[in-house]
A and B are shown apart, each in its own frame.
Chain A
Amino acid sequence: MAETFAFYLFSGLAILASALVIGQRNPMYSVLLLVASFGAMAGLFIQLDAPFVAVALMIVYAGAIMVLFLFVVMLLNAPQEDALQYDRTHPFRHPVLMRFGALLAAILVVQLAYALLRAPDLRVPVAGRADASVVGSVAELGRVLFDRHVFAFEATSILILVAMVGAVVLARRESGPQ
């Protein structure tokens, strides 16, 4: 009972916040609404007995990546979304684009839902098969991560190093006499 209420609350918040993210003119508001959406998703993850993933989501996504977005929005002094000279109306008020885009989005949802729900045995409780002890334990997560996936783990560390160097090089100002 409380579980169902929590699920609808968190998923409703996540969907509402994401819908507002793509509908806001001011990019600052979009970033903050996305942080709220991540908070709601963290709640959903906790309900799925994945507390470590939920907390990691808050630390990495909402605590670091979104702060990076916020910095960029502030430093660029990103204006309200301005249309070019020949396209003065906001895309969401452009009637043809809006209707066609919404129609395509609805078709996408229907297709995804159909594809995901086609198997008849998915109408089962998500926690039905096994208890939470093997899935929710952080020690088990660490054991499998560093045992079977150690190569992928090391590869992602090199990936992050490359991304860091790349970001610094790309955002550097042109310096020098030429």
Chain B
Amino acid sequence: MIPLNDYLIVSAILFALGATGVFLRRNLITILLSIEIMLNAVNLTFVAFGRYAADVNGQIIVFFVMTVAAAEAAVGLALVIALFRNRESLNPDAFTSLKW
């Protein structure tokens, strides 16, 4: 029998890894991938709590999170393509024209 603790700790570690990726990486695609890691960690938390409370709503929220992640990945990648066409670089530090 695996305690609920362990699932939550795994989810916390994955979330922290995703957040680290978003902040430290200088490549737009890797940043988007780190966002997906974070969303997945949250999925794990939802399903773990849903299983513990014997509630099927945990899985239903995961459904919606997956859908929103798909939509956000599609639009995010379209933006990345448009940005790359403009500046020929995937480094977020290259897009500084709105900086003061």
Contact = CB atoms under 8 A, between A and B. Distances in A.
Q: Do A and B come from one complex?
A: yes
A87 to B, nearest CB: 7
A97 B24 contact: yes
Where chain B touches its partner, the secondary structure class is helix
A45 B47 contact: yes
Contacts of A166: 74-75, 78
Nearest to B40: A41
Contacts, number: 255
A149 B27 contact: no
B2 to A, nearest CB: 5
Contact of A135 (B54, B67, B80, B89): B54
Contacts of A104: 20, 23
Given A21-B34, A122-B4, A125-B4, A15 B13 contact: yes
B33 A69 contact: yes
B interface bracket (residues with beta carbon within 8 Å of A): 35 or more
Interface in B49-95: 50-60, 62-64, 66-75, 77-82, 84-85, 89-91, 93-94
A116 B5 CA distance: 8
Interface in A29-66: 30-31, 34, 37-38, 41, 44-45, 47-50, 52-53, 56-57, 60-61, 64-65
Interface in A54-112: 56-57, 60-61, 64-65, 68-69, 72-73, 75-76, 78-79, 81-84, 87, 91-92, 97-98, 101-102, 104-106, 108-109, 112
A167 to B, nearest CB: 4
A22 interface: yes
A109 B11 CA distance: 10
A3 B24 contact: no
Nearest to A168: B78
B3 A126 contact: yes
Contact of B25 (A22, A76, A108): A22
B50 A135 contact: yes
A52 B59 contact: yes
B29 A27 contact: yes
Interface string A8-20: 0001001100110
9 contacts: A15-B17, A50-B58, A72-B81, A97-B24, A127-B51, A128-B1, A141-B59, A166-B75, A170-B78
Given A18-B18, A52-B59, A170-B78, 4 more contacts: A53-B62, A101-B20, A101-B23, A135-B51
10 A-B pairs closest in CB distance? A130-B54, A22-B21, A163-B71, A125-B1, A112-B12, A170-B78, A167-B78, A171-B78, A105-B20, A116-B8
